Chains A and B, each alone.
Chain A
Amino acid sequence: MASDDSADVVVVGTGVVGCLIAEQALDAGLSVLMLEAGPRVDRWRIVENYRNLPPSLRLFHWDAPYPPKPWAPHLETRKDKEAEQYLQLEGPNARAYLQGYVRYAGGATWHWAGICWRLTPEDMRLNSLYGVGRDWPFAHDVIEPYYTRAEYALGVCGPSDPASQWPPNAKRSQPYPMGPTPFGPGEHRLTEVAAKIGLMNIPAPQARNSGVSYHGRPPCCGNNNCFPVCPIAAKYDAATALPKIEAKGGKILVNAVVYRIETGNRKTVEAVHYFDPDKGSHKVTGKIFVIACNGIETPKLLLFSKDDRNPNGVANSSDQVGRNMMDQPKLIADVELTEPLWTGVGPVQSSSVMNTTQGEFRNSHAGALLRMENFARSPLGAAAALKKGLVGKALDKEIRRISACTARLTVEHEPLPSPDNRLTLSSKKDWLGINKPNIYYDVGDYVRRSAKEYTVPLLHKLADGLGATSFQLSPEFLNSDHIMGGCIMGTDPTTSVVDADCRAHDHHNLFLPGGGAMPSGTASNSTLTMAALALKAADAIVDQLRHG
């Protein structure tokens, strides 16, 4: 059994990655202690937070139902000024790294869409095939079994027809645990229109129960607020794993902000130190340490833990910690249509055009994923119609028109790892006196070229196909909330931070799994790959503790 200050496996972070590793370790008979910086809040409280928001904050302010604790700040966008309070952003595309994540027990899966794309074999060999970016240290067939395990651990629904599965050129060892979520009317229409211009809109595999219960969670009933919170836990979020972890004997300490990783002789990690909400400091020892705080908080903690033995920060002999920060730079096009489209039936995202992510063109510009947001547009319709000063029947009619006859098309570009896109410690400090993360971000010419020559023209074609009468493109690249790269994986300890099992090259008992380890960002949502890497790391952890 874990105590409050020691365990076989100490996991920092209670998101999807930390929870998967905790469950695997517990199943192997190891003791597990999890440390979470933020509070543990009941789902119903978060649901009520969301519903108590003013209408203007119901959409696009996915952080709003998660007010942070002073000791565990994260992005807040309720007021313009708040956006700059925690994340310190600079560079030509600072806006594209305005990452929303949740420092609550359960982590950012609280407000993810649940999309679970697998990478393609090509996505893992960018350098060999296209002369850009980095290769993964292992091939697709190595990660495939972990993808399958991750899909069963999270409960992913997806198509059984191989023609609709992604990637199209790699075998699956198991079918999806559940069939796909049916398309709403808007997605049917988009699929038809896309097909006419050679784009294949396919059902998105998603960690959401379709038609049946899974692991004690109910089937999706189409509340259509997957973000900011699934009110019934039909969508997997790591908060649903917490009671299961405790039932297996795992311990979870919340409001425990880890601020230092302590190393000893031979660069073994000896302990982590955390602050409680009264700023009291505590020490936790263990055999294996897992820092599962994703691509911003993990490198921040490594850099903040620098000492005489680790002058650049823990795990940073390569000077790659905090570099190669990636996310899919996003552009959105708001369109008005003559015919009703009716998005909003089913989950907020349920399909994507994927064949635009692959191709020989990747030697000169980024691939990209295109999709249509499937959230109900009635709140936007109501706000816009009221703004026009309409009343009575005219108001109803206009709300209905805007809800039915407008849409948002989105394109997410694949980023390349660049050492200049870098997280450092800001001179500004948070409530506990810990430096805030500072991130320099430039999407690079690879992405800019893609937008200019490839994706924006495609967006126009899609909009024309849908019968758009107006087309409004976002003026700059936006964030996709898929944080990758800050602890990049590779075989060479001088150019990478972790090995193929997400183990730090510098410290044999320190694991840094998750998005930070991914050597390529690709156009696909990152979570399933993070989950697969977590399971791969978990196997390595169990093996290491059994066999030394």
Chain B
Amino acid sequence: MCGAGHRICALLIFFAVPLMVSVSHAAEQPNQHAESAVIERGKYLAIAADCGACHTTPGGKPYAGGLPISTPLGTIYSTNITPSADFGIGRYTEEEFSRALHRGIRRDGAHLYPAMPYTSYAKFTDDDAHALYVYFMRAVQPVEARAPATELPFPMNIRLSMLVWNFLFLDGHAFAPDPQQSAEWNRGAYLVQGATHCSTCHTPRGFLMQEEASRALSGAQVGPWYAPNITSDPVTGIGSWTRDELAAFLRSGRLPAKAQAAGSMGEAVEHSFQHLSAADIDAIATYVKSVPAIHNPAGESRFTAGKMFSELGVLRGRYGISSNNDANPTGAELFQGNCASCHSAEGQGSKDGYYPSLFHNSATGAKDPANLIAAILYGVDRTVSGKQAFMPGFGGYPTDSNQLSDSDIAALGTYVLTHYGPGDTAITEQQVSEIRRGGPSSLLLPLARGGLAAAAIVVVLGAAFLVFRRRKARA
């Protein structure tokens, strides 16, 4: 009873604060202090929403766009969202801005592709949308440069198709707090479903690239990386993590003997989560821990697989010294030559944890080897609290110092999975090649094209049939 009262009280505070801010806004008192507070809040929300992840290129000017985002349907370029009138969103009214944020509609009425997570941003309260608008218009430096245009292949280049998609899949309702839950839980739910858009990566997508709500946060492939199951399932999700462990992971990007953030999650920690308030991180962890468990089929825990192991005893002395690159090196040789100098000869990593152990590690313990392959190809580069965690890629980029072939990575990855991972999974060259190409491509494109072709054939056959009948009728 007491607890429930406490909750309701907290809820009132949670919603009263934005209410008061909006009231003061409605009163339109030009108060510099109030405006700078709104700008600060907008900036914080832009960080929470990690707008820069897509709208800022590495080393580029903030929010100038132009980052190529490979999707299963083709490359989408992020847009310039600085307040430049000619190249950015400088001419957007607040209403137009809100429409783009909440419903994915540009100022000119064209539809955005859902690579822009407006299905999540729809949850933003009007007041938070206002703060974002004020921040982007007043505090972001305009960049007078056009970002490259997105040109998806036919028929995906018909943006009007998004009208149907939105009708089917866009839940335009604002966030509705659950009065049965604590204020902290509600704050977490608001952030996770909205700003931090966790489902964008962690929820599997259906045939039409829509998030499948029934399998929310149960894991999905995103480009070359796999965003794992983060539901509370104790085996295939993160149910075995405590709330504090999850919060620590979000702040630092790593949880010793369990997992480390790489790929998009590494960026999310670096650019977004590490900068959020302790209260918000705790709220996010509280909410995520409560997400209904979804058990992945044929799944075992990805955090407990493998053990210390080395083949040094049989390796040394057997192979001599050569001035030739081996055509078919063994996984053990590749491991010792490429990995052991940092991760140790037996895979246990370094004592200080800078180099993670390769066993009891989600990157090697998962049945799906995508993240292991992606880590070998593209490495890890994550800076948190001024400290960098870095692993070089081994050939994902043509400039990488050390280039491993698809067959090398298949042999190396299989060795790692066999000894430090689930033990019974082999990696094929084709799997490596697919990740190197940027991850699996969608069937939607060929099917859509095929569908259109089939429709055309039906029309042609139908027309031929009619002509044939008429001729027959004349005869």
A: residues with CB less than 8 A from B are: 38-45, 47-49, 51-53, 64-69, 104, 211-213, 216-219, 221, 223, 231-233, 239-240, 243-244, 246-247
Contact = CB atoms under 8 A, between A and B. Distances in A.
A52 B314 CA distance: 12
B333 interface: yes
A246 B395 CA distance: 13
Contacts of B391: 218
Given A43-B401, A221-B355, A67 B337 contact: no
Given A243-B398, A244-B399, A45 B322 contact: yes
Given A65-B321, A67-B321, A43 B402 contact: yes
Contact of A68 (B323, B333, B388): B323
Interface centre among B316, B325, B355, B401, by most chain A C-beta atoms within 10 angstroms, is B401
Contacts of B402: 42-44, 233
Given A218-B391, A221-B355, A45 B401 contact: no
Interface of B: 316-317, 319-326, 333-334, 336-338, 341-342, 350, 354-355, 381, 388, 390-393, 397-403
B333 A48 contact: yes
Nearest to A46: B337
Nearest to A39: B323
Q: DSSP class of A's interface residues: helix, strand, loop or mixed?
A: loop
B193 to A, nearest CB: 35
A49 B322 contact: yes
Nearest to A246: B398
A79 to B, nearest CB: 13
A217 B392 CA distance: 6
Given A44-B337, A231-B341, A64 B321 contact: yes
A232 B321 CA distance: 19
A44 B397 CA distance: 18
A216 B401 contact: yes
B330 to A, nearest CB: 11
Contacts of B336: 47-48, 51
A223 B337 contact: no
Most A C-beta atoms less than 10 A away, residue of B316, B317, B390? B390
A12 B308 CA distance: 47
Contacts of B325: 40-42, 45
A69 B336 CA distance: 25
A444 B421 CA distance: 63
Nearest to B403: A243
| Residue of B317, B381, B388, B402 contacting most chain A CB atoms (<10 Å) | B402
Contacts of B403: 243
B390 A213 contact: yes
13 contacts: A48-B333, A67-B321, A67-B322, A69-B323, A217-B401, A218-B392, A221-B341, A221-B350, A221-B355, A232-B341, A232-B342, A233-B392, A246-B398
Contact of B342 (A53, A213, A221): A221
B256 to A, nearest CB: 18
A35 B397 CA distance: 24
A240 to B, nearest CB: 4
Contacts of B338: 44
Contact of B323 (A41, A51, A211, A216): A41
Contacts of A233: 392, 401-402
Nearest to B391: A218
A53 B317 CA distance: 8
A67 B316 contact: no
B399 A52 contact: no
Contacts of B334: 44
A25 to B, nearest CB: 17
B342 A39 contact: no
A40 B392 CA distance: 20
Nearest to B316: A52
Given A216-B397, A243-B398, 6 more contacts: A41-B325, A47-B336, A67-B323, A69-B323, A221-B354, A233-B402
